[in-house]
């Protein structure tokens, strides 16, 4: 399935032109009548992932380089892995004065990952049994150099013992990786933070080229 089929609801290779006219005042109205990602989800290509059944991990004290705590590896041969949402949730310990969730797209093809992190789950969010060609991995080593790490959510707080709180970010496709690639995810906190975190999120597997 290609993005062309989803967006245009067409199965051929031709282009479709749509005329959009402005009002006499110059107003241009474009309405989206379905929720974002509804068509993708209906096609069975949107998936959730969660590590809460596994061992929670502490945050790091500095921005990562080539060894993030978490990664999503794209094991498909023809689809892009597109990150849509990510969250880090505290499970125990003392959260420090600040917290961030950061991400990066690894550069080039990465070391093959063939199994999920113990306790990680990933399921299709339309209730079907579709299984993504992707794996949740812990502490991967990125090859190809240090990618640009981007902060997607930041939290300023009082240092306190807290469970069930954290940071979340709607990525909306700003991070993606090709077949054999990997999206890295890291939770960054201050020195002295003892909290342990699980991560979860949403991603899509999309064929952008079609055919």
On whether residue 27 sits in a domain, the answer given is: no
Residue 6 predicted with pLDDT over 60:
no
Q: Take residue 113 and report the two structure tokens written for it.
A: 């990952």
Distance separating alpha carbons of residues 14 and 4, to the nearest angstrom: 10
> Residue 126, SS3?
coil
Distance of CA 153 to the CA centre of its chain: 13
β strands within the chain, DSSP E: 46-50, 57-58, 70-74, 80-92, 94-95, 98-105, 121-124, 134-138, 150-156, 160-161, 166-177, 182-189, 196-206
CA–CA distance from 210 to each of 1, 10, 38, 104, 108 (Å)? Answer: 6, 11, 19, 26, 22
d(CA 188, CA 178): 26
pLDDT > 70 in the chain, percent: 82
Question: Is residue 143, in this structure, part of any structural domain at all?
Answer: yes
Print the domain residue range for 178: 36-206
Q: pLDDT, tens digit, for every residue of 54-87?
A: 998 888 888 999 999 999 999 999 999 999 999 9
- The stretch 115-135 carries a mean pLDDT of 97
Which of the pair, 177 or 10, is modelled with greater confidence?
177
Residue 30 included in any domain: no
Write down how long the chain is.
211
Residue 13 lies in a domain: no
For residue 207, give the DSSP letter. Answer: B
The structure's pTM equals: 0.82
Q: Is residue 117 part of a domain?
A: yes
Question: Taking all residues of the chain, what is their mean pLDDT, rounded to a whole number?
Answer: 86
Q: How many domains does the chain have?
A: 1
Q: Note whether residue 2 is domain-resident.
A: no
Q: Give domain status of residue 113, yes or no.
A: yes
More confident residue, 132 or 3: 132
Domain membership flag for residue 165: yes
What pLDDT shows up at residue 159? Answer: 67
- Residue 69 confidence (pLDDT): 94
């Amino acid at each position: 399935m290609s993005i062309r089929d989803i967006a245009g609801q067409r199965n051929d290779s031709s282009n479709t032109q749509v005329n959009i006219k402005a009002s006499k005042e110059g107003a241009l109205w474009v309405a989206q009548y379905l929720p974002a990602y509804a068509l993708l989800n209906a096609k069975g290509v949107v998936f959730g992932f969660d590590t809460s059944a596994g061992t929670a991990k502490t945050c790091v004290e500095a921005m990562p380089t080539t060894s993030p705590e978490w990664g999503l590896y794209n094991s498909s041969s023809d689809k892009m892995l597109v990150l849509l949402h990510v969250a880090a949730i505290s499970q125990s310990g003392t959260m420090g004065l600040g917290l961030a969730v950061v991400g990066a797209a690894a550069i080039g093809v990465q070391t093959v990952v063939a199994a999920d992190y113990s306790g990680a789950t990933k399921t299709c969010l339309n209730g079907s049994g579709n299984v993504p060609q992707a794996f949740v991995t812990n502490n991967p080593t990125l090859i190809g150099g240090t990618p640009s790490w981007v902060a997607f959510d930041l939290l300023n707080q009082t240092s306190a013992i807290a469970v069930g709180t954290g940071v979340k970010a709607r990525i909306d496709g700003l991070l993606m990786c090709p077949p054999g690639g990997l999206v890295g995810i890291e939770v960054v906190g201050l020195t002295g933070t003892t909290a342990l975190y699980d991560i979860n999120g949403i991603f899509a597997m999309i064929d952008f080229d079609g055919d």
